[in-house]
């Protein structure tokens, strides 16, 4: 029993040669993939000639999705955007539209004023904050995108606001504008460690208060957990 687990490390230690070989034979995917990909271009011609018409139908379609070039978000223009730019000069860093959903990247300083305006009747009455969350881009200088999705009953319209935040930077809390963000901001704080300024009760919401680490950050491994907490509270030793 003791020898068995010893053997695999030894093989790995022995040299790099057996490892890639084993990997290749195990999956068979890497060598197969290029081989499978290369006959793809000639396939439509050959495929259409030999078998009946049935398989010819699918290959006819792929060029259509491939031809869909406008993958990139396009710049957004609307009366609302003009109004916002007039009232808050320099506040909007970027305004794009992608899949019919406009998205505004807003400077952190003007978030509250802008939000207040959007909520007012003049600004389109975006009274419902449906969602607030964050995205972690660890390679960026300002690693977090804090995302707000607002909805206007009056205009039946959704709008996305985005604030770029660096590690340790504070974001103004929008609880004063949209009270529903109370729990949503706590969740973002819990999962990403984004700190909100002016939040009435900023503490963890889903994880225990004493937990260390923020699981939805990209550098938090999916298998990681707060071993010390788990051992102290659940009596489960790490790796058990």
Partner 1 sequence: MPVTLEKIPGQEERVILNMGPQHPSTHGVLRLVLELEGETVVRSLYDIGYLHTGFEKSFEAKTYTQCITLTDRMDYLAPLSNNLGFCLATEKLLELEIPPTAQWIRVLLTELTRIQSHLVWLGSHAIDLGAMSVFLYCFREREILETIFENVAGQRMMTSYFRVGGLAVEPPLGWLKPVEKFVREFPDHLREYEDLLTKNPIWLERTVGVGKVSAEDAVAIGLSGPSLRGSGVKWDIRKNQPYSSYEKFEFDVPTRSEGDVYARYLVRLEEMRQSLRIVRQAIDGMPEGRVRANAPHIVMPDREEMKTSIEGLIYHFKLVTEGFHPPIGEVYQAIESPRGELGFYMVSDGSPKPFRCHVRAPSFANLQSLGKMIEGRLIADVVACIGSIDIILGEVDR
**Across the chain, where does the E strand assignment appear?**
74-75, 92-98, 101-106, 128-136, 144-152, 157-165, 170-172, 195-197
Question: Least distance to partner 1 from the beta carbon of 12, Å?
Answer: 24
CB closer to partner 1 out of 81 and 176:
176
Q: What is the DSSP string of 73-102?
A: PEEP--HHHHHHHHHSTTTEEEEEEETTEE
Residue 106, phi then psi, degrees to nearest 5: -115, 145
Closest approach, Cβ 233 to partner 1, in A, equals 9
**What does the alpha-carbon distance between residue 23 and residue 12 come to, in Å, rounded to a whole number?**
12
Work out the number of other CB atoms within 10 angstroms of the CB of residue 124: 21
Least separation in angstroms between CB 129 and partner 1: 6
| Smallest gap from residue 81 Cβ to partner 1 (A) | 18
Name which of 86 and 139 has its Cβ closer to partner 1: 139
Which residues have CB under 8 Å from 196's CB, separation 6+? 170, 171, 172, 173, 185, 188, 189, 202
Nearer to partner 1, 97 or 195 (CB): 97
Whose Cβ is closer to partner 1: residue 107's or residue 127's?
127
> Whole-number minimum distance, CB 84 to partner 1, in Å?
20
Provide the minimum distance between the beta carbon of 21 and partner 1 in the complex, in angstroms, as a whole number. 19
Binding site for partner 1 (CB under 8 A): 29, 32-33, 36-37, 39-40, 43-44, 47, 51, 54-55, 57-59, 61-62, 65, 68, 71, 73, 98-99, 101, 103, 127-131, 133, 135-136, 147, 149, 153, 156, 158, 160, 178-180, 182-184, 187, 191, 204-210, 215-216, 220, 222
Nearest to 136 by CA among 128, 146, 148, 123: 146
Is 2 or 67 the residue whose CB approaches partner 1 more closely? 67
Q: Which is nearer to partner 1, 123 or 215 (CB)?
A: 215
Tokens of 207: 């994880």
Given a contact cutoff of 8 angstroms between Cβ atoms, the answer to whether 68 and 62 are in contact is: no
**Count of beta carbons in the 10 Å neighbourhood of residue 36:** 10
């Amino acid at each position: 029993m003791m020898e068995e687990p010893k053997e695999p490390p030894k093989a790995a230690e022995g040299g790099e040669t057996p490892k890639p070989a084993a990997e290749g034979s195990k999956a068979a995917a890497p060598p197969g993939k290029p081989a499978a990909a290369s006959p793809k271009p000639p396939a439509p011609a050959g495929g259409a000639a030999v078998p009946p018409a049935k398989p010819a139908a699918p290959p006819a379609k792929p060029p259509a999705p491939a031809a869909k070039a406008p993958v990139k978000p396009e710049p957004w223009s609307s009366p609302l955007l003009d109004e916002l730019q007039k009232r808050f000069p320099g506040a909007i860093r970027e305004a794009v539209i992608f899949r019919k959903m406009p998205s505004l990247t807003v400077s952190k300083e003007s978030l509250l004023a802008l939000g207040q305006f959007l909520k007012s009747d003049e600004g389109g009455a975006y009274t419902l904050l449906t969602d607030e969350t964050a995205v972690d881009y660890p390679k960026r200088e300002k690693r977090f995108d804090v995302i707000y999705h607002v909805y206007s009953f009056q205009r039946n319209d959704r709008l996305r606001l985005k604030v770029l935040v660096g590690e340790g930077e504070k974001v103004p809390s929008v609880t004063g504008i949209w009270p529903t963000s109370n729990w949503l901001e706590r969740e973002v704080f819990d999962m990403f460690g984004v700190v909100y300024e002016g939040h009435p009760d900023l503490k963890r919401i889903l994880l225990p208060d004493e937990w260390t680490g923020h699981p939805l950050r990209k550098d938090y491994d999916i298998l990681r957990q707060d071993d010390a907490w788990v051992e102290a509270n659940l009596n489960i030793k790490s790796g058990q």
